[in-house]
Amino acid sequence: MDIDKGPSPIVFRLDPGSGVPTYLQLVQQVEQALRLGHLQVGDQLPRVRDVVGGLAINPNTVLKAYRELEHRGLVAGRRGQGTFVERALDRAGLREQAGLRRSLLEWMAAADAAGLDDAGMSALFTAALQDRHTAGHGERDDRNERGERNERTEGIA
């Protein structure tokens, strides 16, 4: 007899126009749910078959996302039971958040001086976040496979 705690606290959604690979969209949604407190240690992620049925995607895509989350130490699979949250994401302390806020306010002042309105700042910030996620959460490298500068980002600080 299966004991069901009820549905998983997370429901995945896909944005096919985002340019972000499907498996990374799933990873990002789990990380965001952890940051916002929607997922807690011990919560179960949706079963692979439920995600596949709900989103009409390949099971290997879901498995790749769950493996990436395991690699990051956030979840662990339990044979025959599912995948469960093992660790919450660290949050910046109040002092760090205050420093980051000051830096962000300085950036916004510079963007305003450059002629960007709120929508322009938001678009630029969102694009930078997407670039960061596409690059695998690491430092952004503006070079292609041959070590040449990426013309799209040349000259952007």
Contact in structure between 30 and 45 (CB atoms under 8 Å) = yes
Query: If you average pLDDT over every residue of the chain, what do you get?
Result: 82
Residue 137: the pLDDT is 54
Would you kindly state where each structural domain of the chain is located, as residue ranges?
A: 22-85, 92-157
The arithmetic mean of pLDDT across residues 62-77, rounded, is 96
What pLDDT does 6 receive? Answer: 57
* Neighbouring C-beta atoms of residue 30, cutoff 10 Å: 24
Q: Is the pTM of this model over 0.85?
A: no
Domain 22-85 has CATH 3.20.20.100: no
Q: Are 15 and 55 in contact (CB under 8 A)?
A: no
